[in-house]
Amino acid sequence: MKTTELDQNPVREFDAQAASFLVRDLRRVYASGKTRDYGWRVSQLRMVEKMATDCEKEIYEALRLDLNKPEIESFVHEISLTKASCQTMLKELKHWMAPQKAKAPLTVFPASAEIVSEPLGVVLVISTWNYPLLLSLDPVIGAIAAGNAVVLKPSEVAPATSTLLARILPRYVDSSAVRVVEGSVSATSLLLDQQWDKIFYTGNATIGQIVMSAAAKHLTPVVLELGGKSPVVVDPNTNLEVTVKRIASGKWGCNNGQTCVSPDYIITTKSFAPKLIEALKQTLENFYGNDPLNSKDLSRIVNLKHYNRLTRLLDDDKVCDKIVHGGQKDEKRLSISPTILLDVPLDSLIMKEEIFGPLLPIITVDDIEESFDLISSRSKPLAAYLFTMNKKLEQEFIGTISAGGMLINDTALHLTVHSLPFGGVGGSGMGNYHGKFSFDAFSHKKAVLHRGFAGDASARYPPFTPKKKAILKALVIGDLFGLILALLGWPRT
């Protein structure tokens, strides 16, 4: 199959031969050196930013079709962050591309050392459906900035956005080096069969294992942006009014809970829980009214499969009587109202699986410090949150809890700070990106040592006399005084 045929219809005609030809063509383009050029990188980044502006209405419509995402949420969480990513790269790229000086030890004197950032080559980005624009383009932006040729595989679970990206991205960027492949799971499998220089995957841990296994066949490095059950610890010593608004915003205002860093469950004290629940109820009513299923400010569940999964969590015999707020469902509209549950068993399904939806369990403890042991006994989360005015508790939380990222007195906002790395640890992922970390994720840090022909020391070459041995020993351990003595032929006493 010809490359032009692949361009015209990537969904129907993408097969094993097309996958092989695609990678071959991209390797040829990368070998030409065009993607390494600073000017090429800048022009591509500017055009991605322009695309996000020019196609704003089309993006709104695609996100509405896929998730019924409110326009303001689409702009704040997807379009603006995509543009901000481009702007960060454009501002810093020349500095990041410049070789970094490194110290050269006495053993190699005279010499100079540097670290050169070079692109990895041809990379694959496999995106997910909950933020189908941002989580597709943000890694691609990093790959372009680092000088790679890249293939983007958008999620088929968000078909409108996938189709939109396949249609508009080639109009703005160099389609010989940046390609979009649509398709179902079979297309992803065909891509994973190929040899890449890096694979960047965003999604769940189950598929992450498949991606890592496929990459291992070619010793391909991976970045896995996964998820997990991100806890929120609420200390009674907090500003309750602000706390509940920020929890509600991070849980239901970010894709109705369908977010990797969404608050998954709350831990608070038994005595404080009633106040917290009452305040959350009032906040939810203020945000979404008395009939949240009809609110225009809530996204819907992405599809029937995920709706049924969430319903199964609610219908579990262990938790069905634990609902203290919400629980309304509308299968026809794929809607579930913001739902709060109190003291669900830790062995229930809702506490074993990542929720990824509008359900929020609250677990109570006698003392807030007990929350640390509870969190630490579970898989390491992608994010961990603490609300408190107690600075000592804050420092204990930071020092004790292992998580991909952490936020004190708010939720989710840390992923918008491009000077911070974003990524998981343990079961929540490996590797990170955003800003400079995206550039680094798609770069190889090449060590370069420069030496001239002067100053060649005879002591490094055999035969090794006692004097040469003394010189070499002094050089290796950095003993300047011992080196002087050895050069003078004086024994060290």
d(CA 337, CA 51): 34
Contacts 24+ apart (CB under 8 A), 184-189: 184/156, 185/156, 187/11, 187/14, 187/153, 187/156, 188/126, 188/153
Of the listed 78, 225, 254, 354, which one is catalytic? 225
SS3 355: coil
For residue 113, what is the enclosing H or E element?
A: strand 111-119
SS3 60: helix
Is 225 an annotated catalytic residue?
Answer: yes
Cis amide leading into 274 (omega within 30): no
Residue with tokens 């204990």: 396
For residue 468, what is the enclosing H or E element?
A: helix 466-477
Max distance between CA atoms of the chain, in angstroms, equals: 91
d(CA 69, CA 232): 25
Phi, psi of 443 (to 5 degrees): -120, 155
Compute how many other C-beta atoms are within 10 angstroms of the C-beta atom of residue 213: 10
SS3 407: strand
CA 180 to chain centre: 20
SS3 421: coil
- Are the beta carbons of 300 and 68 closer than 8 angstroms? yes
Amino acid at 316: D
Is 118 an annotated catalytic residue?
Answer: no
Amino acid at 438: S
For residue 392, what is the enclosing H or E element?
A: helix 391-400
d(CA 17, CA 20): 5
Phi, psi of 345 (to 5 degrees): -60, 145
Alpha helices in 193-330 (DSSP H): 205-216, 240-251, 273-288, 304-315
* Beta strand pairing call for 429-430 and 222-225: antiparallel
CA 93 to chain centre: 20
d(CA 422, CA 272): 32
Cis amide leading into 463 (omega within 30): yes
Of the listed 55, 86, 260, 354, which one is catalytic? 260
CA atoms within 13 A on the CB side of 14: 22
Q: Active-site residues: which are they?
A: 225, 260
